[in-house]
């Protein structure tokens, strides 16, 4: 199959195959090599809820041996309808419930995150220490099921948790470190070869094996990859290197130097992503918690004003599972998948569901897709319809029932 990338505007409306059905899933579909330009939101997100953005008007075309062209970036009518029904299910079943995973309230609950739990009112007021703790804890949620990560967090003693989640303490440890590889983000990336000796249960390295640095302690405490002990210190150093003494100060610097709301969102995401193991996903998860009014604690988003919060979408393996299930054939870059979720969301008016939501909010649509496809997260939830058996499945629309990972059949 030859790969040809072409950029073409497709006009308004939705592209659809025959009968509006899902295209078949092809796991060998190549990733397009072109770059999708970002869409600059010139108006507030809520005022442009039904207009396709520039990024959503891009078509990435794959030309096969038979010469047919398949649009890959614009959702079909069936894909939009399915995403809408999944969103309806999520809002009616799990939105803002006490045990919902992946939302800011989870980080305030000691029963779920142990000594890393943050103060609800402090986050709502945008206090620096709580926001830093939130970012570090958020960065733990990668490459493992949420329940496993929460078990790790609950198992960390309070003294270690408070040290790992404090920017001031981490910077002091970096300054006092005898190894120069722990004193800058560049040195952490290029020269620190931190790992774990699994037999001894100890953090080790070859660069300075005799130095008992805090990174070696942290990598044992965090119980993740051998190099994961670099993550908390790297976040603190990344802020310091950008001339910010705290996360609120970083935001203020960007607000002063960048004037477009969408460009500010891009700048914040890029600034956080300078840290070790802080990806676009982790940055978006944190930034949506403090910017997005429908995600933030009690609807109070301290960083909401002046930032295009619709940019922050969290793409994980569960969202990818939904994309594969409905036959998504776009580029697999993070930006490409985000643009597709934003395109879906532009055709789902959330105000219709009666929850006082912003009409256009791709992070809410993404949260619905994530939770719907996550078997591990849904099974423990008391409100999940899977606990009601086959009768609940029979009441679901067929488009949703046929892709539900927990669907049940009547005996």
183 shares a domain with 319: no
Q: What DSSP line would sit under 136-201, residue for residue? A: HHHHT-SSS-HHHHHHHHHTS-HHHHHHHT-HHHHHHHHHH-SSGGGSSHHHHHHT---EEETTTT
123 shares a domain with 80: no
Between the alpha carbon of residue 95 and those of residues 89, 121, 157, 371, 381, the distances in Å are: 9, 20, 31, 10, 12
257 shares a domain with 287: yes
256 shares a domain with 167: yes
- Token pair 């949703």 is found at 400
Rounded to two decimals, the pTM is 0.82
89 shares a domain with 211: no
Answer whether residue 300 is part of any domain: no
Q: pLDDT tens, 294-339?
A: 999 999 999 999 999 999 999 999 999 999 999 999 999 999 999 9
181 shares a domain with 279: yes
Answer whether residue 303 is part of any domain: no
CA distance 244 to 247: 7
Query: Quick one: which of 202, 200, 198, 193 has its CA closest to 221?
Result: 202
Q: pLDDT at position 70, please?
A: 34
Q: pLDDT at position 392, please?
A: 87
- For residue 88, the enclosing domain spans 18-97+310-385
Total domain count for the chain? 2
Profile the chain (411 residues) by mean pLDDT over runs of 10 residues.
32 35 36 34 37 36 32 82 97 95 96 98 98 98 93 98 98 96 96 94 95 96 94 98 98 98 98 97 98 97 98 97 95 95 97 95 98 95 91 90 86 46
Query: Quick one: which of 259, 261, 283 has its CA closest to 270?
Result: 283
């Amino acid at each position: 199959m030859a790969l040809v990338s072409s950029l073409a505007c497709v006009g308004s409306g939705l592209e659809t195959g025959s009968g509006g059905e899902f295209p078949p899933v092809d796991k060998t579909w190549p990733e397009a090599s072109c770059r999708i330009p970002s869409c600059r939101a010139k108006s507030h997100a809520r005022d442009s809820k039904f207009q396709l953005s520039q990024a959503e008007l891009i078509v990435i075309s794959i030309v096969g041996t038979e010469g047919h062209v398949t649009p890959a970036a614009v959702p079909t009518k069936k894909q939009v309808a399915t995403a809408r029904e999944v969103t309806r299910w999520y809002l009616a079943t799990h939105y803002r419930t006490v045990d919902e995973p992946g939302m800011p309230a989870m980080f305030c609950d000691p029963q779920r995150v142990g000594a890393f739990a943050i103060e609800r009112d402090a986050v709502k007021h945008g206090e620096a220490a709580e926001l830093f703790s939130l970012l570090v804890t958020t960065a733990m949620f990668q490459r493992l099921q949420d329940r496993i990560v929460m078990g790790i967090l609950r198992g960390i003693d309070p003294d270690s948790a408070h040290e790992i989640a404090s920017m001031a303490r981490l910077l002091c440890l970096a300054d006092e470190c005898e190894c120069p590889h722990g004193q800058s983000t560049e040195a952490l990336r290029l020269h620190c070869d931190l790992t774990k000796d699994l037999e001894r249960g100890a953090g080790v390295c070859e660069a300075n094996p005799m130095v008992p640095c805090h990174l070696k302690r942290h990598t044992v405490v965090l119980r993740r990859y051998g190099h994961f002990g670099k993550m908390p210190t790297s976040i603190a150093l990344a802020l310091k290197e950008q001339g910010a003494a705290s996360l609120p100060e970083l935001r203020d610097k960007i607000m002063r130097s960048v004037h477009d709301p969408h460009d500010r969102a891009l700048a914040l995401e890029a600034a956080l992503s300078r840290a070790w193991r802080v990806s676009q996903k982790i940055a978006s998860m944190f930034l949506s918690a403090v910017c997005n009014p429908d995600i933030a604690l009690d609807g109070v988003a301290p960083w909401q004003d002046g930032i295009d919060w619709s940019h922050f979408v969290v793409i994980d393996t569960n969202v990818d599972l939904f994309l594969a299930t409905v036959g998504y054939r776009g580029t697999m870059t993070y930006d490409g998948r985000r643009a597709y979720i934003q395109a879906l969301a532009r055709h789902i008016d959330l105000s219709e569901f009666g929850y006082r939501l912003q009409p256009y909010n791709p992070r809410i649509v993404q949260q619905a897709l994530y939770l719907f496809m996550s078997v591990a997260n849904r099974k423990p939830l008391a409100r999940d319809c899977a606990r009601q058996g086959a009768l609940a499945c029979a009441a679901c629309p067929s488009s949703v029932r046929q892709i539900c990972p927990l669907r049940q059949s009547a005996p």
